[in-house]
Structure 1
């Protein structure tokens, strides 16, 4: 498998599990050769609550992707989110020790290590140390200080941490599906690599990844990630509101949301009617489609109100001219761009990975199993693959031509998260 330079990513979400397999081409870019999805069971708000169910969901998605790609996976990059994720910005400073005071890779690694000297509870672990900028002798906004002259090197980083228990349970689930873990990657960071342009990240942009159990936020400025947050509310809450408000089973509420839902009720004709099953799932009644959307809109409005609060909390109001990019399964809901733009006062677009439409036609079924109904694939549905595609892009960035995706045992992963930060920087620089 290593000779074919295979990279794989698994997005283990609350609603779905998605496996993406890519082959690194001559230009060291990932070309997608396999996709597999499975309804997700065993997770709640992005965290594993039942390992056996999670393993089963992972196995189903992996088998589908392997069959399409014609390969057997050994190890994967795994996306992580959930309410246990937290982040903060940090600062580090070191004296330049290189010959003639020229900044070396060792100096860069030392200053990055210096930013990690922060108070972290024993039950939490560092997942990422992401550089925001470097400062050389007071000169700011430096992105790549290697080879520059100076006596004092500083770094501003964004540090992402997670619950050790949650990380271990996710890794254990992947290992029990007979896969090693090549790396743990924050989901909005992964998604950004698939759907955000360099110009958007330079100007200032907010990424909103709407999943089933959580909504993930990442703010980029000057080409780097400056702020992240995980909101404990997502598409499943919309489905629950429909089930309660319409007095219908959850699987039918999900079907109604996907087939007839709209986040902006004003866009819906009041005379349009739809059929709704009763709580027993046997008899149906006719209601106005606008009534359904009147139930959906307040919850989606709440989500983007929370997004707006996070933007203000981070201090970036008025500083994100590239606007907002919404992705993930929740972004498939009609009316999202209109409502989000009105609520945030910013331009909004739906983020879909490039060059993925051509492979969707080969998928064998639905995005989500929703009981008696299914959500079929279409061009617009590519947004549900943003994290998975981003994971293989992340893997491609850390790819070494002669390396193979070897297994990493469960009890090694937490220990090696620190080491992977250094490896990541060496690969980039």
Structure 2
């Protein structure tokens, strides 16, 4: 989310709906919701923007609703993205500290990270995130904080999240059209954002997979020993479940969507042995 004066703003652009959230940081470090706006997404197909005007209109409606509830204008925001164009890959970098053992400095950490992220990317792809996994010092692994430790060779394992440059630029263009700018690192891969909100430190340490199911696709983030080990997006989402229900139950899509929401949650609206009449 992006900070403007004393509030922060996040946008979630998806194939089904577009959301805008305005929050105010509290002294305890938590966020107090000031305003929420939701609009039906237009101009999207299979997780990609195919109509800039339609997508921009959805952003406009969601932001205006959030602004009205919060009573503040939005001009800076972080934007969450997902879709099959987002890919994850692990990489490793190494740095010689010299023939004599010495302490690792913050500058060394920056340099070894630069080495790890210097992979060859196609012209149509860009780097979204560099997530450190662990450091190795003279082959000793499992190090989470290398600064101050002593050795001759520093290595780092990282997880890189990349995305289609065209897809990302279209998202930025749509947001900019509504007078909203993005800060540095203003594009966020949604499963990583969801993990920050939903997973505990213990879960990430023991190992956990988070699946963020959207309308057109589902994002995956796998954590182990507090680090991101794998990310991916598959082109299967809630819309596919709805279509399967419509075909299997021989009913219309709106009715299938209604039943999916009623039956598919953690607290189904009907008992397991209930018999329901489905309209044709």
- TM-score normalized by structure 1? 0.60
Report what 1:191 is aligned to: 194
Equivalent pair of 2:213/2:219 in contact (CA under 8 Å): yes
Measured against aligned partners, the alpha-carbon deviations of 1:37-60 in whole angstroms (never above 9, x if no partner) come to 112222223221221111111111
- Unaligned 5+ residue runs, structure 1? 279-429
1:269 alignment counterpart? 273
Kindly indicate whether residue 161 of structure 2 is the aligned counterpart of residue 160 of structure 1: yes
Distance in structure 1 (CA, Å) of the matches to 2:53 and 2:187? 20
Give the corresponding residue for 1:55: 56
Which stretch has the larger CA shift, 105-114 or 254-263?
Answer: 254-263
1:254 pairs with 245, 254, 257, which one? 257
**Structure 2 residue 233 is the aligned partner of structure 1 residue 235:** no
- Equivalence for 1:308: none
* 1:318 counterpart residue number: none
Deviation at 1:27, TM superposition (A): 4.2
2:105 equivalent to 1:104: yes
Aligned to 1:3: 5
Helix, strand or coil for the counterpart of 1:82?
Answer: coil
Give 1:261 shift.
5.0
**Cα displacement (A) at 1:175:** 1.0
1:20 and 2:24 aligned = no
Instruction: Measure the CA separation in 2 of the matches of 1:116 and 1:77.
Output: 23
Kept after mapping to 2: 8 A contact 1:42/1:53: yes
Q: Distance in 1 between matches of 2:236 and 2:105?
A: 44
Shift of 1:121: 0.9
Equivalent-residue separation in structure 1 for 2:125 and 2:5 (angstroms): 37
Which sections of structure 2, spanning at least 5 residues, go unmatched?
none
Alpha-carbon distance change, 3 to 229 in structure 1, aligned in 2, over 3 angstroms: closer
Cα displacement (A) at 1:150? 2.2
Provide Cα deviations, 1:156-200, integer angstroms capped at 9, x if missing partner. 000111111111111111111221112111110000010000000
1:117 has 2:121 as partner = no
**How many angstroms does 1:148 deviate by?**
2.0
Q: Distance in 1 between matches of 2:278 and 2:211?
A: 32
Structure 2 Cα separation of the partners of residues 217 and 247 of structure 1: 31
1:135 partnered with 2:166: no
Q: CA deviation at 1:68?
A: 1.7
- The CA RMSD over aligned residues, in Å, is 2.3
Structure 1 residues 20-29 or 46-55, which shifts more? 20-29
In 1: Cα distance, 2:30 partner to 2:140 partner: 34
Secondary structure in 2 matching 1:135: strand
The corresponding residue for 1:174 is: 175
Matches within 5 A, 1:251-400: 251-260=254-263, 268-269=272-273, 272-276=275-279, 278=280
Per the TM alignment, residue 128 of structure 1 is displaced from its structure 2 partner at its CA by 0.8
Structure having the larger proportion of residues in helix: 1
Q: 1:158 to 1:261 in 2, by over 3 A?
A: closer
Whether the 8 Å contact between 2:207 and 2:222 is mirrored in structure 1 is yes
- Decide whether the 8 Å contact of 1:38 with 1:57 is kept in 2: yes
Is the 1:219–1:227 contact (alpha carbons within 8 Å) kept by the matching residues of 2? Answer: yes
**TM score, norm. by length of structure 2:** 0.90
SS at match of 1:107: helix
Match of 2:220 in 1: 217
Q: Contact conserved, 1:46 with 1:80, CA < 8 A, in 2?
A: no
Distance in 1 between the 2:265 and 2:181 partners? Answer: 40
Counterpart CA distance in 1 for 2:32 and 2:26 is 7
Structure 1 runs (4+) deviating above 4 angstroms are: 260-264
Pick closer, same or farther for the CA change 1:248–1:12 going to 2, 3 Å: same
Contact 2:124 2:164 in 1 (8 A): yes
Which residue of the partner structure matches residue 388 of structure 1? none
Q: Which has the higher contact order (CA 8 A, sep 6+)?
A: 1
